[in-house]
């Protein structure tokens, strides 16, 4: 069985949300597992000196338009939640907590969190909001709240952020296909073609 | 006849070089003229706070790899010339000087300048280098040299840079299709689809 494709994303990344709608389809077409790896862009931005995309003059206006357009093209609802940018720490911790036991359930939770934020415009930056979304999937909200403060869960996210950076991940979404990096929602097709053909 | 598609690029932009190989093909398929509009990214970077791509930690390494890969995919030679980044002022001035009289000849010169820089790794940042390339197309080198110092030509480039920025152009390559902006070599296919379908 071919190696899994790594899908790096930040829960506060609009283009990450768009990519999340498509990566499992790519995995199915290729017959390859997609491993979801939420991380925190803020930590990487300290290294790259990047600013939050929507706050950049000219580029921010363009990005907003491109996000709307890209969402329309793949037929998913899209809006920028308020506040924005927001902290993705609780969402990412909840993901890894759940992924330790059930990776499918963790992906389902991730999709719901993304949908709440960028599909419906809700604030998912708080532990309460994350616990509420998790409860919709049958997870005990008290247990989720406790997990978000669990030192082991906190450390897991720190380790994942560090590992992502070590692998050169600096943006969201970011795919790694057999070690080959692909950055951006607009490179998903290239990533799939690379996996199909073995590269060029 | 449908409106022309505007193709903005910087002569020192590797992705602009790649896009230059493809835009005329897009124009032919669509039956639409492509108007080439060299500008200067440096002026825009002062507004957006962007740094030269290849100098950014992590992102620079990725970009270098992505450029190589993208060039291989479309089957064109590619290298980063030294020095890099370089001044695109003489090349852009020569382009507009020639375009006033012959837009086809100006595109041919642009392709040759790009090829010298990113296909062969030559330095095209000096008036001499630009005049030499222009001479290969039958233009008098002395006339080209004089044009590069012509106040009217200098002003034309300044006006074009200002006009690009006013239209929200902040990167290279950048296409405008019926007013709709598309930034990046990886958005060429979207720009073509937009022109074909009238948008979505």
Task: Give the C-alpha separation, B118 to B125, whole Å.
Answer: 12
ipTM score of the complex?
0.88
Chain A residue at shortest CA distance from B197: A73
Sign of dihedral through CA atoms A43, A45, A46, A51?
A: negative
| Six token digits for residue A22 | 């498509």
Which residues of chain B neighbour A66 with C-beta distances below 8 Å?
183, 187
Task: Look at residue A1 and tell me whether its pLDDT is greater than 80.
Answer: no
Point out the residue among A47, A57, A66 whose CB comes nearest to the CB of B47: A57
What is the predicted pLDDT for the residue at B198? 94
- Average pLDDT of chain B is 96
The per-residue pLDDT for range B59-68, each reduced to its tens digit, is: 999 999 999 9
The residue among A22, A38, A8 whose CA lies nearest residue A76 is A22
Predicted local confidence at residue B48, as pLDDT: 82
| Chain segment A134-179, per-residue pLDDT in tens | 999 999 999 999 999 999 999 999 999 999 999 999 999 999 999 9
Q: CB-CB: which of B65, B170, B187 is closest to A59?
A: B170
How many other CB atoms sit within 10 Å of the CB of residue A104? Answer: 9
What is the tens place of the pLDDT at every residue in B98-144? 999 999 999 999 999 999 999 999 999 999 999 999 999 999 999 99
Q: Is B168–A56 a contact, with Cβ atoms under 8 angstroms apart?
A: no
B89 and B130 Cβ atoms separated by less than 8 Å: no
Please report the pLDDT score of residue A44 as a whole number. 83
Q: Provide the residue range defining the domain that includes B74.
A: 5-197
Taking CB atoms and an 8 Å limit, are B58 and A49 in contact across chains? no
Q: Which of A62, A173, A195 to mutate to test the interface with B (most CBs of B within 10 A)?
A: A62
Q: How many domains does chain B have?
A: 1
Q: Show residues of chain B in contact with A61, CB under 8 Å.
A: 168
Give the pLDDT score at A70.
96
Q: Do A48 and B59 touch (CB under 8 A)?
A: yes
Chain A, nearest residue to B182 by Cα:
A66
Cβ partners under 8 Å of residue B11, min gap 6: B38, B88, B91, B92, B95, B110, B113, B114, B117, B124
- The Cα B150–Cα A94 span in angstroms is 64
Q: How far is A99 from chain B (nearest CA, A)?
A: 28
Q: What is the pLDDT of residue A51?
A: 82
In this prediction, residue A41 has a pLDDT band, given cuts at 50, 70 and 90, of very high
Q: The CATH number of the domain where A39 resides is what?
A: 3.40.30.10
What pLDDT, in 10s, does the model give residues B22-55?
Answer: 999 999 999 999 999 999 999 888 888 888 888 8
Q: Chain B partners of A165 at a C-beta cutoff of 8 Å? A: 58
pLDDT at B28 (0 to 100): 97
Please give, rounded to a whole number of angstroms, the shortest distance from the CA of A9 to a CA of chain B.
16
Contacts of A171 in chain B (CB under 8 A): 59
**Considering only alpha carbons, which residue of chain B is nearest residue A67?**
B182
Return the pLDDT at A50. Answer: 81
Is B1's pLDDT higher than 80? no
Range B145-158 average pLDDT: 98
Which pLDDT score is estimated for B148? 98
Over residues B183-188, the mean pLDDT reads 94
In angstroms, the CA B47 to CA A116 distance is 34
Q: Given an 8 Å threshold on Cβ–Cβ distance, is B58 in contact with A200?
A: no
Nearest Cα of chain A lies from the Cα of B150 at a distance, in angstroms, of: 31
Closest CA to B95 of B115, B116, B79, B111: B111
Q: Which residue has the tokens 């991380």?
A: A39
Q: What does the pLDDT look like over A102-115, one tens digit per residue?
A: 999 999 999 999 99
Nearest beta carbon to residue B187 from set A51, A57, A186 = A186
How close does chain B come to A41, measured CA to CA in Å?
A: 13
Cα separation values, B95 from B112, B124, B155, Å: 11, 13, 13
Across the interface, whether the CB atoms of A48 and B56 are under 8 A apart is answered: yes
With an 8 Å Cβ cutoff, are B56 and A73 in contact?
no
Neighboring chain A residues of B170 at a CB cutoff of 8 Å: 57-59, 62
Residue in A175, A196, A198 with CA at minimum distance from that of residue A36: A175
């Amino acid at each position: 069985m071919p190696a899994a494709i790594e899908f790096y994303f930040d829960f506060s990344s609009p283009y990450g949300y768009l990519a999340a709608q498509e990566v499992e389809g790519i995995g199915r077409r290729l017959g390859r597992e997609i491993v979801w790896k939420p991380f925190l862009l803020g930590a990487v931005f300290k290294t790259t000196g990047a600013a939050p995309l929507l706050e950049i003059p000219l580029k921010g206006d363009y990005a907003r338009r491109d996000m709307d357009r890209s969402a329309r093209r793949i037929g998913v609802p899209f809006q920028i939640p308020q506040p924005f940018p927001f902290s993705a720490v609780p969402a990412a911790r909840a993901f890894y907590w759940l992924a330790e036991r059930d990776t499918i359930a963790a992906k389902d939770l991730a999709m719901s969190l993304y949908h709440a934020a960028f599909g419906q415009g809700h604030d998912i930056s708080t532990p309460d909001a994350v616990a509420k979304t998790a409860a919709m999937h049958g997870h005990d909200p008290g247990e989720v709240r406790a997990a978000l403060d669990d030192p082991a869960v906190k450390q897991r996210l720190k380790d994942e952020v560090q590992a992502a950076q070590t692998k050169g991940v600096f943006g969201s979404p970011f795919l790694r296909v057999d070690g080959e990096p692909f950055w951006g929602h607009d490179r998903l097709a290239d990533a799939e073609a690379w996996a199909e053909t073995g590269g060029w």
